[in-house]
Amino acid sequence: MTTTTNTSEGTTSHGKAVLRDLSPLHRDLRRAIPDVYKGFGELSQAAFADGEMSKRTKELIALAIGVVEGCDGCIASHAQAAVRAGATRQEAAEAIGVTFLMHGGPATIHGARAYAAFCEFADAHDAGDAAS
């Protein structure tokens, strides 16, 4: 599976490059509002904790919401987290497929980006890349 999308402007990554680009922006804002980031981190940990639904399922839901919202940072972050939680390419594809029903045409664009991001992280994970 290819990890990038070829466009007329060149090759675009929808996974690691997105997270790398956002990292310094988050770092700067986190310095300005550390308590807000701390609270968000605690909410995130609570929301993704295993319960009746597994973390894997919750990350796939978050990935699908990222597609519907058209948020490339959410897509990349939750694609990576879903891989780390053990989600398969087929599970990601099926979660993305539901977004087509719920959000129509725009989901086909962000859904393709989400699947490319998921596969990028899955390929790295399969290759033993600890940063995946």
- Give the lowest-confidence range in 56-65, 80-89, 123-132: 123-132
What is the residue-averaged pLDDT of the chain?
Answer: 90
Domains (range + CATH), the chain: 13-126 (1.20.1290.10)
Closest CA relative to residue 70, chosen from 103, 92, 97: 103
Residue 129 is predicted with a pLDDT of 82
DSSP 8-state secondary structure symbol assigned to residue 86: T
CA 24/CA 117 separation, integer angstroms: 20
Residue 125 CB contacts under 8 Å (≥ 6 apart), including other chains = 83, 84, 132
Residue 124 is predicted with a pLDDT of 94
- How many residues does this entry show for the chain? 132
Residue 1 is predicted with a pLDDT of 37
- At 12 the three-state DSSP class reads strand
